[in-house]
Amino acid sequence: MLPFLSIAKARKLLVTKKISPRELLDELQKRIVTINPKVQAYLSWDYEKAALEAQRADLSKPLGGIPIGIKDAILVQGAPAFSASRILEGYQASYDATVIKNLRAAGAYPLGRLNMDEFAMGSSTETSAFHPTYNPWDLSRTPGGSSGGSAAALAAGMAMAALGSDTGGSIRQPAALCGCVGMKPTYGRVSRYGLIAFASSLDQIGPLTHTVEDSALLLNALAGPDPKDSTSLSLPGEDFTSQLGRDLQGIRIGIPKEYFVDGIEPQVRQCVEKAIAQLTSLGAEAVEISLPHTQYAVSVYYIIVTAEASSNLARFDGVRYGHRSKKANDLLSLYEQTREEGFGAEVKRRIILGTYVLSSGYYDAYYLRAQKVRTLIRRDFEEAFSKVDLLVSATSPETAFRCGEKSNDPLKMYLADIFTIAANLAGICGISLPCGFAQKEGKKLPVGLQLLGPSFAEKMLFRVAHAYEEATAWHQDPPPLL
């Protein structure tokens, strides 16, 4: 089926004119019309606009004719951009994010707005102000989050690829739960200009794809310096596909003992251990290492991320754009009523926590101390990468959980990202790819393998991930929702 083709295979068909960009788009449109009412991955899509872009696609470019689903936090000029929040309902972006400009320059074009947790705050896509998204492998379960719409659309064959953002695992965790490939680039590798901010020192845009090769192809287009983003790194362009196909001889993979603890579902652990054995059979050497400050990562993350969210979301006040309360009778009540009506419960919770840890008398005790521990976590990774080339673990300690299962227990939900958040705190790169299935109540649910590398080691991660993918067939299994 065309919608499940990799970008690399679709490009061969496009270049040889066996299919046209419009035919590819039409196949995706049929899938969206049929499947999206069940999965609810899209918030909106503009077929007519996409059809115009497909007709003028330049097939000589590396991604020519490929439609890409876009997470609702990434701006596309003229398209709605709500970040799945009522407070931005009705807002239309006045400019393209840099990543959208880069995709267009490579010949791709945006297709639709994909659902997410409100302002990317969540791990299940249930905090979206509009509707939850469901996992194509089992519609009673979540797709993960916050980029759950991106992962679900891809897994269900409603997108050739998708963009997400990763603040604490929001690309990798839903990729794992939906059985696709999710890449979090090194912090600063991809411009954040045009991304509706959640936590600016942690956010990073990245691709979700069917294959590792597709992920590398998309990162070729996305990565690069941007003068409009002060945290963007001035690195020359690279070909992230250049090491694909190389063997794993001489590669040392670290097994962090803190990531193999009680609490991992037995079937998940079994799949990951088999994946490690597969990597060693391909020539890699496994070495046990330690990341001693891992136990503090969740606490540190939820101090820093809420503090930055409190600062970033202060701009939504009902004065300049987005929702404005009609109940207000003075400036203070305008702020209060607008935010009361516009923000959901999880966003309010995080703003309150963040304001508290930044407040006078508590800043040193919480925020400053958390930043110091963040440095220790970063040093743990530096020490580990002086001994090994990359780290391997489960992406998520569990498979997709049921809708509503964790909604009333924020701490339980926060722990869903326990293996992913440290990479954001350290600013390093990571990728999740399928490594097997668990059986639950007669349903087959994907398991994700996480590879973490030092900063700027994306090519090495792609090399190892691609070697594993080529030796297995997990990525070739579509969900039962056909």
Residue 242: active-site member? no
Euclidean distance between CA atoms 256 and 433, whole angstroms: 18
In the beta sheet, which residues pair with residue 261? none
Active-site residue identified among 83, 124, 146, 310: 146
Residue 146: active-site member? yes
Token pair recorded at residue 94: 């006045």
Q: Please state, as a whole number, how many other Cβ atoms lie within 10 Å of the Cβ of residue 340.
A: 12
Angle separating helix axes 458-471 and 266-281, nearest 10 degrees: 100
The pairing of strands 67-71 and 252-256 is unpaired
Residue 71: active-site member? yes
410, 349 in Cβ contact below 8 A? yes
DSSP 417: G
3-state SS of 69-138?
Answer: EEECCECCCCCECCCCCHHHCCCECCCCCHHHHHHHHCCCEEEEEECCCHHHCCCCCCCCCCCCCCECCE
Euclidean distance between CA atoms 413 and 393, whole angstroms: 19
Active-site residue identified among 71, 406, 440, 443: 71
Q: Please state, as a whole number, how many other Cβ atoms lie within 10 Å of the Cβ of residue 6.
A: 19
Active-site residue identified among 6, 128, 165, 170: 170
In the beta sheet, which residues pair with residue 44? 113
- Catalytic site positions: 71, 146, 170
